């Protein structure tokens, strides 16, 4: 980590804002309000968008992990500040859904490291990630219907595209609490492990992704998300496919397969 990034991280930690750490090809964004179960304050929205921009601007990064400090991943948006947040969002054109959609569009594959509990808006933040790893004993629920909150459009669409209409209805219309086994069964979790295997599973998946060919992986991530939302840009997809066909990474991948060795991809 650079001195400038270390200083920036220290300042944001003191303020309770999310932080960014970089180690080789892996970036980690950490929610940083453990006393409030990492609830997401209005000030966190712009900071999370800014950190996503920092990740996208770094061509050396291959994977992003999103996690939280303390016993829970996140309690979601700070409902006590919801009215103020909406007023501020109107002034600056940014709301909770905008932030989550920006994280979904991060260039590199993303992993949500889900410990303890995942609630409210944090459930959509996790859904915006490409992979969600949880441990036995975690729980999740969406309390919007119990609170009189009508969820935002992009979140509703993400739930249906990721989990299917019936599961989305269970979560939104009943405020049912889902345990770890059911979260895995309905596809909310992509990986479920024992608590003692939790960090090892996150590290193993992040390392596996980091070894992949970035042009191909990042291009396919974008296409798959667009397909999931019914909005595939076929022209851009064709351009990415052509770029991969002409890349040094493709030649490296084919050579490594022939030579029975691990490939070393450069992203070009």
pLDDT, tens only, 181-194: 999 999 999 999 99
Per-residue confidence (pLDDT) for residue 49, from 0 to 100 = 97
Alpha-carbon gap, residue 44 to 63, rounded angstroms: 21
Least confident of 145-154, 162-171, 198-207: 145-154
* Domains observed in the chain: 3-210 (3.90.226.10), 214-259 (no CATH)
Question: Where residue 131 falls among pLDDT bands split at 50, 70, 90?
Answer: very high
Q: What is the pTM of this model?
A: 0.90
3-state secondary structure of 212: coil
Per-residue confidence (pLDDT) for residue 85, from 0 to 100 = 47
What does each C-alpha distance from 121 to 131, 155, 214 come to in angstroms?
Answer: 17, 9, 30
Q: With a cut of 90, say whether residue 89 has pLDDT above it.
A: no
What are the residue ranges of helices labelled H in the chain?
A: 3-15, 42-56, 82-92, 96-104, 121-127, 144-147, 153-163, 165-174, 180-185, 198-210, 214-228, 234-245, 248-259
Phi, psi of 63 (to 5 degrees): -155, 150
């Amino acid at each position: 980590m650079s001195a400038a990034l270390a200083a920036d991280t220290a300042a944001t930690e003191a303020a309770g804002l999310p932080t960014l750490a970089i180690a080789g090809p892996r970036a980690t964004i950490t929610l940083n309000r453990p006393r409030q179960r990492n609830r997401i304050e209005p000030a966190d929205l712009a900071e999370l968008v800014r950190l996503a921009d920092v990740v996208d601007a770094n061509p050396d990064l291959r994977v992003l992990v999103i996690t939280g400090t303390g016993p829970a991943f996140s309690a979601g948006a700070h409902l006590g500040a919801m009215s103020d947040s909406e007023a501020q969002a109107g002034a600056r054109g940014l709301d909770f859904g905008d932030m989550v959609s920006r994280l979904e569009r991060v260039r590199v594959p993303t992993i949500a490291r889900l410990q303890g509990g995942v609630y409210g808006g944090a459930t959509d933040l996790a859904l915006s990630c490409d992979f969600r790893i949880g441990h036995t004993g975690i729980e999740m629920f969406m309390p919007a219907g119990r609170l009189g909150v009508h969820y935002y459009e992009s979140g509703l669409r993400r739930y249906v595209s990721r989990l299917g209409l019936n599961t989305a209805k269970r979560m939104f219309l009943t405020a049912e609490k889902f345990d770890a086994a059911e979260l895995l069964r309905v596809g909310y979790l992509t990986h479920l492990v024992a608590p003692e295997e939790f960090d090892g599973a996150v590290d193993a998946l992040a390392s596996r992704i980091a070894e992949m060919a970035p042009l191909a992986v990042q291009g396919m991530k974008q296409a798959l998300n667009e397909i999931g939302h019914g909005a595939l840009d076929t022209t851009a997809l064709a351009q990415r496919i052509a770029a991969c066909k002409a890349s040094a990474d493709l030649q490296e991948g084919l050579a490594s397969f022939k030579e029975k060795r691990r490939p070393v991809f450069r992203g070009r």
